[in-house]
Structure 1
Amino acid sequence: MAVLKQFGILFVLGIAGIAMLAITSVPLVEQQLAKLSPERLAKVPPLWVLILLQGLQPTVLLAISILIGIGCAYRVGLRSHLIDYWVLHTPKIPFSVIEMKWSLGVGAATTIILLLLDRFMKPALPEALQASHHTEPNWLSSLTAMLYGGITEEILMRWGLMSLLVWLAWKVLKQGITLPSQGIYQGAIVLAALVFGLLHLPATAAIVPLTPLVIIRAILLNGIAGIAFGWLFWQYSLEAAMLSHVSVHAFSFALSLMLARFV
């Protein structure tokens, strides 16, 4: 029963991001369908079926990541306040003001670092990638980034992948008696961040060819963010990583609106 409660809590959170991603992908799918000939279009399933199929893969990955995290996270000292409160019945959700300040502070610092690095690398990037950054800020896409990126991706990458990496390294290297050594946590944070960066390459490839600079940019920017979120997961909780990730997208959206209006 406890496993089902943990799974249900995280699945509801994660599926919200997948649902938003599916909603925002509808115009793109319609554009692709519009390019098909009437003969080929007649063989294509209805739009709602295509959207459901598109959301199937991330839903399966979400479920697997949740189960992995349930099996590994608490064994290596990683935690979720929601699970603490709703499943383990702690007296209250221990999401302190200090933790919130760290989450938002790390999110703000990460946003500034990413914007500065992106601006520094911008002149050497392909024109198509530069042009994609000049699009008008869109609240729906930003909300999707906050929900899918800030919540679903954190369940996938931190709760699932990072917890697994820490647990595996702990069992193999046998460093730490009651908990893994700091080096194991740090290595898992970096490795999960690297995977996080690599997984963003397909989205970049849809815009421009993957040159060495484009690959380095995607891995560097997303990797820096992944390290920040991983550190918060290690030091505080899954919710701290989520809040920081959400804040990065929120701060970026706010800055984009300001730049669009005043620059």
Structure 2
Amino acid sequence: MAILKQFGILFVLGSVGIVMFTVTSIPLIEQQLAKLSPETIEKVPPLWILMLLQGLQYSVLLAISILIGIGCAYRVGLRSHLVDHWVFHTTKSLSFAVEMKWSLGVGAAAALVLLLLDRLMQPALPEALRAANNTERSWLNLLTAMFYGGITEEILMRWGLMSLLVWIAWKGLKQGVTLPSQGIYQGAIVLAALVFGLLHLPATAAIVPLTPVVIIRAILLNGIAGIAFGWLFWQYSLEAAMLSHVSFHAFSFALSLLLARSA
């Protein structure tokens, strides 16, 4: 029963992001379909089926990540306040206020640092990618980034992948008695962040060819953010990583608006 409760809480949270991501990706899928020849289009399923299959694919990945996290996270000292409260009925953490300050602060700092790095790298990027980066984002895209990026991705990358990496390294290297050593956590944070950056390459490849500069940019920017969120998950909770990721997108959106208006 406890496993079902944990799964249900995290799956509902993650599914909201999947639904929003699926809806906002419809225009991109339509653009890609428009480039196909009439003969190829006839073989492609209707758009609603494609979107349903995409949603199902992400839902399966979400479910697998949740189950992995349920099996690994608490065994290696990683936690979720929602699971603590709704499943294990533990009391609210006394450090919750401090945790929120760190989450918001890290999110704001990451937004500023990555925006500056992105600006520095703009001259070396292909024109199509620069144009895509300078496109004004809508409020729907912001909400999608906050829900899918801030919640769904954190369940996938931190709760699922990072917890698994820590557990595998702990069992394999046998460093730490009751909990893994700091080095294991730090290595898992970096490795999960690297995977986080690599997984953003397909979206970039849909815009421009993957040149070395484009690949380095995607890994660097997303990797820095991933390390920050992973550190918060390690030090505080899954919710700390989520809140920081959500605030990162909110601060990035606000900073982009300010720069656009001052230009």
Q: Answer whether TM exceeds 0.5 for this pair.
A: yes
CA distance in structure 2 between the partners assigned to 1:256 and 1:239 by the alignment: 25
C-alpha contact (below 8 Å) 1:137/1:257 kept by paired residues: no
SS in 2 for 1:136: coil
SS in 2 for 1:190: helix
Residue 237 of structure 2 is matched in structure 1 by 237
CA distance in structure 2 between the partners assigned to 1:160 and 1:56 by the alignment: 18
CA distance in structure 2 between the partners assigned to 1:192 and 1:245 by the alignment: 15
Measured after TM superposition, the shift of residue 94 of structure 1 is 5.6
Letter in 2 for 1:223: G
CA distance in structure 1 between the partners assigned to 2:125 and 2:42 by the alignment: 40
C-alpha contact (below 8 Å) 1:85/1:93 kept by paired residues: no
Letter in 1 for 2:216: I
Letter in 2 for 1:233: F
Q: Deviations over 1:100-123 (max 9, x none)?
A: 000000001111110111111111
Q: Deviations over 1:196-221 (max 9, x none)?
A: 01111111111111111111111010
CA distance in structure 2 between the partners assigned to 1:136 and 1:93 by the alignment: 39
Aligned residues: 263
Which range moved further: 33-42 or 48-57? 33-42
Which range moved further: 176-185 or 134-143? 134-143
Residue 126 of structure 2 is matched in structure 1 by 126
Measured after TM superposition, the shift of residue 46 of structure 1 is 3.2
CA distance in structure 2 between the partners assigned to 1:13 and 1:194 by the alignment: 24
CA distance in structure 2 between the partners assigned to 1:214 and 1:37 by the alignment: 28
CA distance in structure 2 between the partners assigned to 1:126 and 1:36 by the alignment: 24
Measured after TM superposition, the shift of residue 194 of structure 1 is 0.5
C-alpha contact (below 8 Å) 1:81/1:95 kept by paired residues: no
SS in 2 for 1:78: coil
SS in 1 for 2:25: helix
Letter in 1 for 2:64: I
Measured after TM superposition, the shift of residue 261 of structure 1 is 2.2
SS in 2 for 1:244: helix
Unaligned runs of 5+ in 2: none
Is 1:247 matched up with 2:243? no
Residue 191 of structure 2 is matched in structure 1 by 191
C-alpha contact (below 8 Å) 1:66/1:159 kept by paired residues: yes
Kindly tell me: are residues 198 and 91 of structure 1, through their superposed partners in 2, closer, same or farther at Cα, counting changes over 3 Å?
same
CA distance in structure 2 between the partners assigned to 1:31 and 1:120 by the alignment: 30
TM-score by length of 1: 0.95
Measured after TM superposition, the shift of residue 29 of structure 1 is 2.7
Which range moved further: 114-123 or 11-20? 114-123
Letter in 1 for 2:51: I
Measured after TM superposition, the shift of residue 9 of structure 1 is 0.3
Kindly tell me: are residues 103 and 212 of structure 1, through their superposed partners in 2, closer, same or farther at Cα, counting changes over 3 Å?
same
Letter in 2 for 1:235: Q
Unaligned runs of 5+ in 1: none
